[in-house]
Amino acid sequence: QKEVEQDPGPLSVPEGAIVSLNCTYSNSAFQYFMWYRQYSRKGPELLMYTYSSGNKEDGRFTAQVDKSSKYISLFIRDSQPSDSATYLCATLGAAGNKLTFGGGTRVLVKP
């Protein structure tokens, strides 16, 4: 079993729709949870991170963590064609020395 799992997609939505992305993880020791966005031929860039359970909002992006079910979510409101990318969830243990990524979900927002 992989430590962090994501549906690879692709997830295709019309412009303006809400994009809903999910990850599950297996190691209860993970403390930090992150979402990265990766455009084609670019490195991942950090979108959001949360510590432990709860919600965090930043503009059109909302991240949720449910540690009881080991479930991580990212919601993108009012999606734009520029949001078309691969979204990677990642986790970090309390020691903070190893970022573990899911396989990524490819998102396509159609004008």
* Minimum CB distance to other proteins smaller for 90 or for 109: 90
**CB of 97 vs other proteins, minimal distance in Å:** 5
Amino acid at 6: Q
Q: Which is nearer to other proteins, 41 or 68 (CB)?
A: 41
CB nearer other proteins, residue 102 or residue 107: 102
Q: Which residues bind other proteins (CB under 8 A)?
A: 4, 6, 8, 32, 34, 41-46, 49, 51, 88, 90, 92, 95-104
Shortest distance, CB of residue 82 to other proteins, whole angstroms?
18
Query: Where are the strands (E) in 1-111, listed by range?
Result: 4-6, 11-14, 19-25, 30-38, 45-51, 54-58, 61-66, 71-76, 85-93, 99-101, 105-110
CA distance 76 to 55: 13
Which amino acid is it at 94?
A: A
